[in-house]
A and B are shown apart, each in its own frame.
Chain A
Amino acid sequence: MNGTGTRARSGLLNLLPLAALVCFLWWAPANLDGYKLRVINLIAINAILGLSLNLIYGMAGMFSLGHAGFMAIGAYVSALLILTPEQKVTMWILEPIAPWLLNLHTPFIVSLVLAGLAAAFVGWLIALPVLRLGGDYLGIATLGFAEIIRILIVNLTPLTNGSLGLKGIPAHTDLWMSYGCFLVILVFVARLMGGNFGNVLRAVRDDEVAARTMGIDTFRVRTLAFTLGCFGAGIGGALMGNLITTIDPKMFMITQTYNLLMIVVVGGLGSITGSVIGSVLVTTMLEWLRFVENPITLGSLHIPGIPGMRMVLFSVLLIAIIIFRREGIMGTREFSWNWFFPPKNAPRALPDEGGRGR
Chain B
Amino acid sequence: MNLNMFVQHFINALGLGSLYGLIAIGYTMVYGILRLINFAHGDIFMLGAYFVFFATIQFKLPWEFGVSLAIAGATLCGLLVDRIAYRPLRSAPRISALISAIGVSFFLENLAIVMFTGMPRAVLQPPWLMKPILVGDVRLIPLGLMVPTISFVLVSGLLWIVYRTRPGLAMRSISHDIETTRLMGVSVDRIIALTFALGSALAALAGIMWALRYPRVEPFMGIFPGFKAFIAAVFGGIGSIPGAMVGGLALGFVEIMSVAFFPNLSGYKDAFAFVLLIVILLIRPTGLMGEKMEEKI
Contacts and interface: CB of A to CB of B under 8 A. Distances in A.
Q: Is A in direct contact with B (CB under 8 Å) within the complex?
A: yes
Interface stretch (A8-16, A186-194, A227-235, A304-312): A304-312
B117 A307 contact: yes
Given A145-B274, A258-B102, A307-B118, A137 B285 contact: yes
B98 A63 contact: yes
Interface in A315-337: 315-316, 318-319, 322-323, 326
A129 interface: yes
B85 to A, nearest CB: 5
A281 interface: no
Contacts of B100: 318-319, 322-323
B285 A151 contact: no
A80 to B, nearest CB: 20
B107 A323 contact: no
Contacts of B4: none
B39 to A, nearest CB: 10
B99 A322 contact: yes
Interface string A127-150: 001101101110111011101100
A314 interface: yes
Contacts, number: 121
Interface stretch (B70-78, B249-257, B264-272): B264-272
B3 interface: no
A135 B97 CA distance: 12
B interface majority secondary structure: helix
Interface string B93-127: 11110111011101101111110011000000000
A45 interface: no
Given A136-B37, A307-B118, A318-B99, A145 B94 contact: no
A315 B110 contact: yes
Given A136-B94, A141-B281, A154 B267 contact: yes
Nearest to B85: A319
A205 to B, nearest CB: 11
A254 B278 CA distance: 18
A135 B277 contact: no
A132 B284 CA distance: 12
Interface in A98-156: 129-130, 132-133, 135-137, 139-141, 143-145, 147-148, 151-152, 154-155
B19 to A, nearest CB: 20
Contacts of B274: 144-145, 147-148
Nearest to A65: B102
Contacts of A311: 106, 109-110, 113
Contacts of A309: 110, 114
Nearest to A320: B103
B230 interface: yes
Contacts of A43: none
Interface residues of A, number: 41
A63 B99 CA distance: 10
Contacts of B113: 307-308, 311
B297 A209 contact: yes
Interface residues of B, number: 48
A129 B285 CA distance: 12
A318 B96 CA distance: 11
B177 interface: no
A308 B278 contact: no
A311 B219 CA distance: 13
B268 A323 contact: no
A139 B37 contact: yes
A266 B22 CA distance: 35
B114 A307 contact: yes
B60 to A, nearest CB: 27
B275 interface: yes
B89 interface: yes
A63, A209, A318: most-surrounded residue (chain B CB, <10 A): A318
Contact of A144 (B267, B277, B285): B277
B295 interface: yes
Interface string A237-266: 000000000000000001100100100010
A319 B107 contact: yes
Given A140-B230, A209-B297, A265 B104 contact: no
Nearest to A254: B223
A186 to B, nearest CB: 24
A2 B30 CA distance: 54
B227 interface: yes
Interface string B280-293: 01100100000000
B92 interface: yes
A152 B104 CA distance: 29
B88 interface: yes
Contacts of A319: 84-85, 100, 103-104, 107
Given A136-B94, A151-B268, A306 B281 contact: no
Interface of A: 63, 129-130, 132-133, 135-137, 139-141, 143-145, 147-148, 151-152, 154-155, 209, 254-255, 258, 261, 265, 306-312, 314-316, 318-319, 322-323, 326
8 contacts: A147-B227, A151-B270, A155-B267, A261-B99, A308-B112, A315-B106, A315-B110, A322-B100
**7 nearest CB pairs, A to B:** A308-B113, A144-B274, A315-B107, A311-B110, A318-B103, A315-B106, A319-B103
Given A133-B281, A261-B102, 13 more contacts: A130-B281, A140-B37, A141-B277, A148-B275, A151-B271, A209-B297, A308-B112, A308-B118, A308-B219, A311-B109, A312-B114, A318-B103, A319-B103
